[in-house]
Amino acid sequence: MSKKTIVVCDHIHENGLKLLFQDPDIMMINASDEPKDKLINEILPLADVAITRSSTDVDEALLIKATKLTAVVRAGVGVDNVDIDGCSKRGIVVMNVPTANTIAAVELTMTHMLSCVRQFPYAHNNLKNDRVWRRQDWYGTELKDKKLGIIGFGNIGSRVGVRAKAFEMDVIAYDPYIDSSKATNVDIAYTTNFDDILACDIITIHTPKTEETIGMIGKKEIAKMKDGVILINCARGGLYEEEALLEGLKSGKIAMAGIDVFDKEPATNHPLLDLNNVTVTPHLGANTLESQENIAIQAAENAILAVKGIAYPNALNLPIKENELPDFVKPYLELTQKMGHLSAQITKSAVKSIKVIAEGDIAPFVDSLGTFATVGVLTESLADQINYVNAEFVAKDRGIEIVKETKPNTSGFTNKISLKLTTKNGTLRLAGTVYDGKVQRIIEVDDYTLDFGPKGVMIFFRNTDTPGVIGDVGRIIAQHDLNISDFRLGRDNKQQALAVVRVDGAVSKDLLEELSQLKACISVASATL
């Protein structure tokens, strides 16, 4: 099978590049230093998946040339430079990396908040640059007992709230798209009345940039605010109407503003820069060494999953609207697709039916789980011919029955997904769950109870439960110059056992054949995720 090509269009951290370079199934082209015309006209036509940042616009001119492209990974949160509709029309999945820079953005927000109340940049410049020692000019205020209004209580806004509570602030959150308990569970007030936010001493905004949120703080909203309010925006440019913000700062209605993002960037000549009651930074929300490494690694991992057809984490344009599902659902969708792909690799037989059973809070989303399971199963035989739109139609044409069920949750897990694959040679059942909202685990294989992550190169070795088998398996694997990175064992009540062995490298047919010759072997198979 020919290698798939991932093109890195813009600079990312070297550890992300290393992940791509080390994958033996991928051809990686680092085009971050190439001229844009060469990138678009000569390099991107080779790409199956592209990784971009803000320096490369995924627009009509690019899409016309990148005819092989199946997915775009935006290494960051914002996708303002990606034509999502244009990608969707061409069947290109668009993904972003929404959480890798969370802490960086949270801490920058707190930096601006503290800089505003203590006028830190101006005091610093007055001493360092002007060499003036005038303490009496720099009386600030304290965060303690101030009322903070948070607009948008997602990954970033919620963490700002927790940190503000540590400063003994009175915090209130506004976000109509979350359950109020997300705020109240961390001792933060929740409101559905936007005027409650406008009455706060300090207001910070943490929403995506949508038609609903563009300019949501304008002249009318500012007029309702208390005199001397402080406004913070480290989210997206344009959420505050910049003309209204400028007017409010000039009049003193707004005492200070902390701004990291602008409607049009770079903003080197913006009138806000002329004011002495604004702290500004040049869009530094993701600019920490830690976040840049996290962004690169997550972007690389997502690109690898996409180019192999395994999963599309954080996809923004899937037909089942993954981005509109509750956050806890997304890891189960990915897990179910991986379980489908894994089961098809283990069985390697014509599929007769795919059955998905959902237990727990995940149960209402069983239809979406069924779609992801079907894509996972059929990817093994159809590769990039299968997608989320055509999966169930293709299955029907092939006479594959798809069954989706829900059951009362008696498993002891918060949620449990079971996938039963029936082929012409028999059945295989996998069950999985997600720990701590993000750690995907497979917990059952047929009647065996195990606990392993669905990733990497795995050998599934079923055997009679007799002494010495584990040693024999380890010895044979070592003889094929493979290291064992994980070894999980399950036993049933029929004196049989199943070992799931993760190895650092490709599994050859000779290795599987040698394992199958062991006297205790019942079956052996390998799979790669």
- 95 touches 71 (CB < 8 A): yes
Cis previous bond, 266, omega within 30: yes
Q: Which residue has the tokens 């085009």?
A: 31
- 4 touches 26 (CB < 8 A): yes
Say which DSSP state 58 is in. Answer: B
- Which two three-digit tokens encode residue 225? 């605010």
Going across the sheet that includes 189-191, the strands are: 189-191, 170-174, 147-151, 202-205, 229-233, 254-259, 278-280
At 237, is the secondary structure helix, strand, or coil?
A: coil
Beta bridge partners of 442: 432, 452
- Which two three-digit tokens encode residue 26? 């991928």
Measured distance CA(300)–CA(17) in Å, rounded: 7
Say which DSSP state 468 is in. Answer: T
Residue 11 CB neighbours (<10 A): 15
Cβ contacts of residue 252 below 8 Å, gap of 6+? 227, 228
- Which two three-digit tokens encode residue 376? 């996972």
Q: Which of 514, 490, 508, 513 is nearest to 500 (CA)?
A: 490
Measured distance CA(195)–CA(177) in Å, rounded: 17
Looking at the annotation, which residues are catalytic?
236, 265, 283
Measured distance CA(218)–CA(22) in Å, rounded: 50
Measured distance CA(114)–CA(146) in Å, rounded: 12
- 73 touches 314 (CB < 8 A): no
- Integer CA distances (angstroms), 245 to 109, 249, 258, 267, in order: 18, 6, 11, 15
Measured distance CA(406)–CA(506) in Å, rounded: 37
Residue ranges of alpha helices (H) inside 308-416 are 329-347, 366-382, 391-397
- Give residue 160's identity as a one-letter amino acid code: V
Going across the sheet that includes 401-407, the strands are: 401-407, 351-360, 415-423, 426-435, 439-445, 448-452
Measured distance CA(29)–CA(92) in Å, rounded: 19
Residue ranges of alpha helices (H) inside 1-68 are 14-22, 36-38, 60-65
